[in-house]
């Protein structure tokens, strides 16, 4: 699954560690999501969406969705 987490974080000039604290996860989790090695579950996706003021679909892109 692709995501815009790194771009959104960079736009706010946040480090991975700062975003991790805001989302209550480890910095390693943020790195894994940004590099596509880990897909977050719904609770984390909802927290990220609320934090950035976006819809989940605006942050996380399902590559298998052909629509």
- Taking the C-alpha atoms of residue 20 and residue 25, their distance in angstroms, rounded to an integer, is 5
Indicate the pLDDT class of residue 65, thresholds 50, 70 and 90. Answer: low
Let me know: does 41 contact 62? Beta carbons within 8 Å. no
42-52 and 16-23 helices, crossing angle to 10° = 110
Ordered by start, the domain boundaries in the chain are 2-56
Homologous superfamily (CATH) for 2-56: lambda repressor-like DNA-binding domains (1.10.260.40)
Q: What is the pLDDT of residues 27-42, one digit of tens each?
A: 999 999 999 999 999 9
- Indicate the pTM of the whole model: 0.90
SS3 category, 40: coil
């Amino acid at each position: 699954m692709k995501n815009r987490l790194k771009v959104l974080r960079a736009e706010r000039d946040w480090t991975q560690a700062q975003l991790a604290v805001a989302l209550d996860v480890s910095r390693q989790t943020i790195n894994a999501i940004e590099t596509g090695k880990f897909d977050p579950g719904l609770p984390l996706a909802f927290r990220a969406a609320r934090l950035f003021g976006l819809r989940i679909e605006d942050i996380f892109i399902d590559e298998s969705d052909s629509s």
